[in-house]
Amino acid sequence: MDREQFRAAAHSAIDDIINYFDTVPERRVLPAVDPGYLRPLIPENPPTEAESWAQIQEDVDSKIKPGLTHWQSPNFMAYYPANVTYPSILGEMYSAAFTAPAFNWLCSPACTELETIVMDWVARALGLPECFLSTSKNLGGGVIQNSASDAIATMMVAARERRVREMVLAEGHKEGTTEYEERKMDLQPRLVAIASDQTHSSAAKGALIAGTRFRSVMTGLEHNMEMTASRLRKVLEKCDRDGLTPYHLTMTFGTTNTCSVDRFAEIKAVLQEKPAWQRIWVHVDAAYAGASLVADEWQYIAKDFAEGVDSFNMNMHKWLLVNFDASVLFVRNRLDLTNALDINPTYMRNPYSDMGTVIDYRNWSISLGRRFRALKIWFVMRSYGLNGMKAHIRKTIELGNVFAELVRGRSDLFEIVTKPAFGLTVFRIKNPQASRESSAAICPKDEVADGITKKVYELINSRGEIFITSTVIDGVYVIRVVSANPMAEEKYVRNAFNIIVRTTDEVLQQK
């Protein structure tokens, strides 16, 4: 493709993308295809001769679009959203054009420096404490990771290295000696990462990658699925009894199932109870709900991170208008990361890195090469301004409130199971036969209600008008609805509610 062909193809692709966004609300949100639909449509072998852009684009239309789940549709109310916006797409275009696997400063100084500046912008926009800024005295700073899972696994490796190093040095072994290495390897398997049973599975995966153990703290509906101090203390004490060393704790700000928020203040107080517990690396996973911090009324939550929190991650690619991947991670002390991950082969050495006057982000993440993702964050923050970003968050939280109110208004049919939060409503269909007394407990287990809720959920998704998700919390089958992508609007939320009511009536009549 030469420059003129690129010009024409790019114009045509942009027109097509705009048209896609314009028409996405009318499309069936879930595709009507069966597994394996694509293979018969695509030749077995790559083409021998060059094909035209027109041919390729035609195949996007006829073969790819029918197999898409439309995450940008306002009828998409499943999982958590995956936002994309025009300025973000422009950022991707420039990032591709300036491609450089910018593993160190010298590879592309603008790439590194913009990332540092933009991460400080994000930290300020979220009202994060000063300690997470790159300009802080404590050597904090932010880095863009591929995903929350990468961020969490990276933190666990850094936490493991910090803890084991402290323990081995305390025993009097000198770094670099065989005894030091042997002791480090002896201690590592006794380390335990802790998180609640509502924490995203990436915490357990991170512990696996870090080669350590993992223990869950039980939650329950009586505490709105939040991790509490007393339940955490039990797990810590059990680790002590078993001769295990807790080294990493994930606190979640907006769990995947219900968007519950762990009780940060009381948890941090528990960690002060014993010297060994004070050494635990505390990470806040705010993958989805952390985006709410751009709105002033939620920033009080971030005040809890000023002390006793080592790191914080948030996916701008969920709810904050930047497309996948834009997972921002902030650390209180960058040396904790670079001490763990800095491996400096000769072929990467250069005067700037050697002098320590520049940031080499390869030492802040698992991958070496990295994309120029700061551009799209920069473009979005400038195109929307903080006020535009706040407006998006407030509007979509309000849509969640509208939906929750509608559900409450039909208490004959529905029961809200956890506190609606950050746009997410979690509810179940009531068992029409359930006695009134049983409702004294918070959402008592009820197999009939589970069965009806599951049927309603499956019927709705099989029809593809809207897409919602279900889950099981504390033994209760529930439906989750969250409408927080840039196209979300009240009329779609009301339509979704009407579909749910209609389908519930239909299922109840079949009983």
Near ligand PLP by CB under 6 A: residue from 111, 123, 144, 148: 148
Query: What type of residue is 150?
Result: D
Rounded to the nearest whole angstrom, what is the least distance from the CB of residue 261 to ligand PLP in the complex? 11
Beta strands in 4-49 (DSSP E): none
> What sign has the CA pseudo-torsion 426, 431, 432, 433?
negative
Report which secondary-structure segment, H or E, holds 315: strand 311-315
Is residue 145 a contact partner of residue 153, using CB atoms and an 8 Å limit? no
| Number of residues forming the site for ligand PLP (CB under 6 A) | 15
Cβ distance to ligand PLP smaller for residue 315 or 333: 315
Is residue 304 a contact partner of residue 222, using CB atoms and an 8 Å limit? no
- With binding defined as CB under 6 A, does residue 149 bind ligand PLP? yes
187 vs 313: CA distance, rounded Å:
28
- With binding defined as CB under 6 A, does residue 147 bind ligand PLP? yes
Rounded to the nearest whole angstrom, what is the least distance from the CB of residue 96 to ligand PLP in the complex? 21
Give the residue from 503, 441, 429 showing the smallest Cα distance to 470: 429
Token pair recorded at residue 7 = 């010009």
- With binding defined as CB under 6 A, does residue 315 bind ligand PLP? yes
Rounded to the nearest whole angstrom, what is the least distance from the CB of residue 255 to ligand PLP in the complex? 6
Contact segment (CB under 6 A) with ligand PLP among 52-60, 122-130, 247-255, 480-488 equals 247-255
- With binding defined as CB under 6 A, does residue 333 bind ligand PLP? no
- With binding defined as CB under 6 A, does residue 327 bind ligand PLP? yes
Residues 278-297 touching ligand PLP, rule: CB under 6 A, are 285, 287-288
Token pair recorded at residue 505 = 């009536």
Rounded to the nearest whole angstrom, what is the least distance from the CB of residue 421 to ligand PLP in the complex? 12
Near ligand PLP by CB under 6 A: residue from 80, 214, 277, 361: 80
Is residue 432 a contact partner of residue 508, using CB atoms and an 8 Å limit? yes
Query: CA triplet 230, 148, 104: central angle to 5 degrees?
Result: 130
Residues 249-268 touching ligand PLP, rule: CB under 6 A, are 252, 254-256
Near ligand PLP by CB under 6 A: residue from 95, 134, 202, 323: 202
Report which secondary-structure segment, H or E, holds 113: helix 109-125
290 vs 272: CA distance, rounded Å:
25
Is 51 buried (19+), middle (13-18) or exposed (0-12) by CB count in 10 A?
Answer: exposed
Write each residue from 106 to 145 as x if it is in contact with ligand PLP (CB under 6 A), else as -, in one continuous string. Answer: ----------------------------------------
Rounded to the nearest whole angstrom, what is the least distance from the CB of residue 393 to ligand PLP in the complex? 16
H and E: helices and strands count for the chain = 17, 11
Rounded to the nearest whole angstrom, what is the least distance from the CB of residue 254 to ligand PLP in the complex? 6
Binding site for ligand PLP (CB under 6 A): 80, 147-149, 200, 202, 252, 254-256, 285, 287-288, 315, 327
